[in-house]
A = this chain, B = another copy of it.
Amino acid sequence: MMIVIMKTDSTIKETSNVIRKIESLGFQPHLSKGEKKTIIGLVGNGKKVDPETFLVMPGVENVVPILHPFKLAGREFKAESSVISVNGTSIGAREVVVMAGPCSVENRDQIHQAAEAVAKAGARILRGGAFKPRTSPYSFQGLGEQGLKFLRQAADASGLAVVTEVMSPQLVELVGEYSDILQIGARNMQNYTLLEAVGKTSKPVLLKRGLMSTIEELLMSAEYILSNGNPNVILCERGIRSFEKYTRNTLDIAAVPIVKKLSHLPIIVDPSHATGKRDLINAMSRCAIAAGADGLIIEVHPKPEEALSDGAQSLLPGDFEMLMVDIGKVAEAVGRRIC
């Protein structure tokens, strides 16, 4: 359903053409002639039609869609919230789930120490990158499959599930063998070949919002995964780009209640990438829980000063323990609890 707005100086012929086009597509046209403008509503037959169809016709000034462009991701399609189960942990239910670990898997010891520390503090899922998207081709690119092995072993030893990034369609199978959740990074949010590839698996997918993507575009990218058959999508707000440069990105915290309203999918928050600064993580984690997030993903490194990437935004194990206590109180204040 949409509305076509005709130009002030459009001709009767142009308006008739639009009406005929609407009818030819099986919709009912509803004409409203104002003093200055003529508008024509399309009354639907359940089918979708591209606004472009009318936007290109002579005499048309603008087309206003009335319905959201996503379908499977929307609350109108599925009213009750989706709960996604990962190794016995439910994401999207009353419990708030914490994923934590280092930016990159660097070696066996580092990831084992990290896993132990975050498990002890109450995290349920271990994060750590084996394939790393880096701005510079000269930066550390990850340990690859070796990293995946270390990650899996460390998680198993501490009773954790695994979330790790997959960067290309060819690697979906490999990464899937070692992990419980496939992460799509912010830079790949609109890498449609990759979205289709993970959509063809049944693994839970953690889909991070692009740095310059709207909430609607995030839901449309989820739609790619859902429409390929995989219903297990977890969204993640991780900061967007703005003019403010004190933080690496600007945490768009309103995205949390907005996604909860528009969609049935769970949404978590990544305060580490949203701010890029260790001393803001605790406050941003508390605020994410207060806003209604279903979980957090946080960078924790046993020795941040030796990290090969993102050390400056990684928490020390001790800070992370404190954070878990602090968010526990906030979770309780909003009627939830850390699982």
Give the residues from 257 to 285 in chain A that come closer than 8 angstroms, CB to CB, to chain B: 257-258, 261, 274-275, 279-280, 283-284
Give the residues from 67 to 112 in chain A that come closer than 8 angstroms, CB to CB, to chain B: 67, 69, 71, 76
A256 adjacent to B240 (CB under 8 Å): no
Chain B residue with Cβ nearest A138:
B48
Chain B residue with Cβ nearest A239:
B254
Contact stretch, chosen from A55-63, A119-127, A147-155, A175-183: A55-63
A311 adjacent to B8 (CB under 8 Å): no
Chain B residues within an 8 Å CB radius of A39: 1, 3, 41, 66
* A323 in contact (CB, < 8 A): no
B30 adjacent to A35 (CB under 8 Å): no
B310 adjacent to A283 (CB under 8 Å): no
Known contacts A43-B35, A192-B134; A307/B254 CB under 8 A:
no
A215 adjacent to B305 (CB under 8 Å): no
* A170 in contact (CB, < 8 A): yes
A251 to chain B, nearest CB (A): 6
Known contacts A187-B191, A254-B275; A223/B1 CB under 8 A:
no
Query: In the bound complex, how far is the Cα of B301 from the Cα of A55, in angstroms?
Result: 14
Known contacts A190-B135, A212-B211, A334-B329; A1/B36 CB under 8 A:
yes
Chain B residue with Cβ nearest A227:
B137
A280 adjacent to B258 (CB under 8 Å): yes
Known contacts A37-B67, A330-B334; A192/B169 CB under 8 A:
no
Chain B residue with Cβ nearest A45:
B35
Chain B residue with Cβ nearest A62:
B66
A52 adjacent to B135 (CB under 8 Å): no
